[in-house]
Structure 1
Amino acid sequence: MALTFYTNPMSRGRIARWMLEEVAQPYDTVLVDWAGKPAALLEANPLGKVPTIVHDGAVVSEAAAICAYLAEAFPQAGLAPTAAERARYLRWMFFTAGPLEAAMVDKVLGVTVPPEREGMVGYATFAKAVDTLEAAVSESDYIAGERFTAADVYVGSAVGWFTQFGLLDKRPAFARYLERVEARPALTRARAIDDALIAAG
């Protein structure tokens, strides 16, 4: 089966790289320069966004969707949710990709939501979004339960990035969660690949 990965090592492509290393299937990498997008990428994804994968002709973009897709496409990796895990798996992956991401972007942009408009933005307030995430990662060892799943690739990446850039406080719950998810050998491999690409410049 053909699996092509369009990425830039200084992008959310790092999330998809981690997931690709978790499923441990062969894939071809196409590096995307911000100045010029490959025609094949634009054909697959007119926005030219990375990460994008093409798996036997099926196009998947958006990092959370790529994580979920790969977990289902390669069930032998054991990263798709069980029936008991599915609700939390979907809830927290979509919360992180939607309301939490929006809260973080608004924070960076200096957007202040008036109290009377909080119901319109999906995350209510920045503080409530962060508190909700803290409660989610505190409920069990991993975001969907006691087992690492593809949702942890996405949520773990987000917690790591938002903490690194000072958008999330370094709360003990976040530190404990990151310690667990960042111990994954696949993440070590993925980081080494992307860091080498950045160094090669």
Structure 2
Amino acid sequence: MTTDDLVLYTNPMSRGRIARWMLEESGQPYRTEMLDYGNGMKAPAFLAINPMGKVPTLVHGDAVVTEAAAICAYLAQTFPGAGLQPEDTPRARAAYHRWLFFAAGPLEAAVTAKSLGLLAPAERAQMVGYGSFDRTVEALAGAVSDAAPWIAGARFSAADVYVGSQIAWGLMFKSLPAHPAFVAYVERLQARPAWQRASALDDAAMPNQA
């Protein structure tokens, strides 16, 4: 493979940081195309790749993958040699899919709604996938508390990249409570060399570093 086989369209102030970390974990060569939030993401050439005009967007040959969780799952499956899929047991596979989709669905929806002051009132909780913010946080804290040491068991996986990123941002921006299990989990994740490499690359690309 060459760096032109995998191209990440991203911005250092976006969910593209999740995809960058996943790429670093995968060990595959890739090229980065930095886009700004104005003309870059809305340019016709990029809209032809991702009509949503959003990052991250991953191009792998003639395949296009959008949505950070999908990019994580795609890379784990496409490059199995990196060992980023769960162990091949029903329990590990179930936990992997469960918490990856939980973080991309109920967790992100609940955190976003709370940050915008748009949480569903208690009498309408059944209408939203997260039910209530507190219940969502409780469920996540339980999963992370049970991590041994990772979300799907003994093996670090793509689900940890996505779930861990959501928790790390939640702690940073105080949109999630500083539950001891969250703090310990993020500390384990941030000790990984791939996380450190990815963070250094994106930090260096921040506008104030230009």
Q: Smaller-chain TM-score range?
A: over 0.9
Instruction: Classify the secondary structure of the residue corresponding to 1:131.
Output: helix
Partner of 1:59: 64
Q: CA RMSD in A?
A: 1.1
Shift of 1:51: 0.2
Shift of 1:166: 0.6
**In structure 2, C-alpha distance between the alignment counterparts of 1:178 and 1:24, rounded to whole Å:** 21
Partner of 2:196: 188
**In structure 1, C-alpha distance between the alignment counterparts of 2:65 and 2:74, rounded to whole Å:** 8
Instruction: Classify the secondary structure of the residue corresponding to 2:54.
Output: coil
- How high is the sequence identity, in percent, across the aligned residues? 58
Which moved further from structure 2: 186-195 or 175-184? 175-184
| Unpaired runs of at least 5, structure 2 | none
2:110/2:119 contact within 8 Å kept: no
Partner of 1:71: 76
2:110/2:132 contact within 8 Å kept: yes
Shift of 1:171: 1.1
2:87/2:155 contact within 8 Å kept: no
Q: Structure 1 stretches (4+) deviating beyond 6 angstroms?
A: none
Read off the aligned partner of 2:99 and give its amino acid letter: W
> Is 1:132 matched with 2:139?
yes
| Equivalent residue for 1:12, pick from 6, 10, 15 | 15
**In structure 1, C-alpha distance between the alignment counterparts of 2:61 and 2:46, rounded to whole Å:** 15
Shift of 1:70: 0.4
Shift of 1:81: 1.8
Instruction: Classify the secondary structure of the residue corresponding to 1:157.
Output: helix
Residue deviations 1:116-144, cap 9 Å, x none?
21111011110000000000101121111
**In structure 2, C-alpha distance between the alignment counterparts of 1:86 and 1:74, rounded to whole Å:** 17
Instruction: Classify the secondary structure of the residue corresponding to 1:152.
Output: helix
Shift of 1:26: 0.9
| Unpaired runs of at least 5, structure 1 | none
| Equivalent residue for 2:53, pick from 48, 52, 67 | 48
| 1:29 to 1:39, Cα distance in 2 relative to 1, 3 A | farther
Partner of 2:95: 88
Read off the aligned partner of 2:81 and give its amino acid letter: Q
> Is 1:146 matched with 2:154?
yes
Shift of 1:80: 1.1
**In structure 2, C-alpha distance between the alignment counterparts of 1:107 and 1:116, rounded to whole Å:** 16
Q: How many residues align?
A: 201
Read off the aligned partner of 1:126 and give its amino acid letter: F
Shift of 1:39: 3.5
Read off the aligned partner of 1:116 and give its amino acid letter: E
Residue deviations 1:38-59, cap 9 Å, x none?
4432111101110000101110
Q: How does 1:17-28 map to 2 (within 5 A)?
A: 17-28=20-31
* TM-score w.r.t. length of structure 2: 0.93
Shift of 1:83: 2.5
Read off the aligned partner of 1:26 and give its amino acid letter: P
> Is 1:101 matched with 2:108?
yes
* TM-score w.r.t. length of structure 1: 0.97
**In structure 2, C-alpha distance between the alignment counterparts of 1:112 and 1:195, rounded to whole Å:** 32
